[in-house]
Amino acid sequence: MLQIREITITTGEKELIKDLNLEIKEGEIHALMGPNGVGKSTICRALLKDPSYEITKGSIFYKKQDITTLTTSERANLGMMMISQNPIAIEGVTNAEMLRLALAEKNKEHIDIFSFQKEAKEICEKLALPESFLHRDINSGASGGERKKIELLHIWMLKPSLLLLDEVDSGLDVDALKIVASSIKEYHDLTNCSILVVTHNPKLLAILKPDYIHILKNKKIIKTGDASLASRIEKEGFISLDETNEVG
C-alpha cells in the first residue's frame, strides 16, 4: 500500500528525517512513537506534501505508484488523508460545501445532492454529531472533541484508504477519545484501510490495536516491535532503547 524508501525530509536548511524506510501493507495499522520534537508529525505532513517540508532524497510509493512528485490534492484523491492534532477552522466554508466539492473531484462526477445529504445525515447520527454541523463553517466555534468528530465525518464521507493520524487523541477527554478511536477502528475493520498513527496514548493504542510499533529517534526509525513495545516504552521511556528490530 505505502512504501517509503530512503527519504530525507528538510525544512529550510534543517534536516529533520534522514534515510527513512517504512512499508505499510493494506489493512495494517502502524504506530509511530518517539520523544517530542523528533519529527513524527513531520513525516505525516511530508507524506501529504505540506509545503513547509521538502523531500530532498528518496521516494514514496502508494498503491504501487511513485507519488513523490504528485501534489497534495492528487495524493488525497488517491486515498490518503490526515487528521492533525488540532484541525484548523476555515471561515465561510461549510463542511457540506467542502465535502461535495472534494467528492466531485475524487469521483470525477457530479454529486447527487439527495444521496449526499442522506449519507451525510446517517454518518452524523452514527457519530452523535448534530446534523447542523454539516452546514457550519469547517471546525468554526467547535470544541476539541467536536473538531475530531467533524474530521471523522470527513473520513466516512471521503473514504480514504490510508489514514495518517497525527496525535488524534490530543485535546480529547476519556469519553471523547473512546468515541473517536472506536469510530476509526470501525472504519478500519469495515474498509480494510491502512493506518499510520502518531501517538503516546496507550488508551488509543489499546483500541486501535496496531500491528507494528516504530520508535523514531535521531531522524530515523531505531526500533520496530509489536504492541508489547508500547507497554515497554510506557514503563521504561525511550532512553533504554537500542537500535534493533524486534519484529519484521
Phi–psi pair at 32, nearest 5 degrees: -115, 120
Is 208 one of the binding residues for other proteins (CB under 8 A)? no
Q: Is residue 76 at the binding interface for other proteins, with CB under 8 A as the rule?
A: yes
Q: What is the distance between the alpha carbons of residues 213 and 229, in angstroms, rounded to a whole number?
A: 7
Please, which of residues 111-140 interact with other proteins by CB under 8 A? 135, 137-138
3-state secondary structure of 111: coil
Q: How far apart are CA 134 and CA 128, in angstroms?
A: 13
CB nearer other proteins, residue 75 or residue 220: 75
Distance CA 196, CA 32 (A): 7
Name the one range near other proteins by CB under 8 A: 55-63, 95-103, 194-202, 217-225: 95-103
- Give the residue with the Cβ less far from other proteins, 108 or 235: 108
- Per-residue CA distances from 160 to 80, 141, 153 (Å): 6, 26, 12
Q: Which of 5, 57, 106, 219 binds other proteins (CB under 8 A)?
A: 106
CB atoms within 10 A of CB 26: 12
The conformation of residue 55, written as its DSSP 8-state character, comes to E
Binder to other proteins among 10, 72, 170, 191 (CB under 8 A)? 72
CA 190 – CA 28 distance, rounded (Å): 13
Region near other proteins per CB under 8 A, out of 21-29, 86-94, 218-226, 239-247: 86-94
Q: Which is nearer to other proteins, 124 or 153 (CB)?
A: 153
Which residue ranges make up the site for other proteins (CB under 8 A)? 48, 50-52, 71-73, 76-77, 81-82, 87-88, 90-93, 97-99, 101-102, 105-106, 135, 137-138, 154, 158
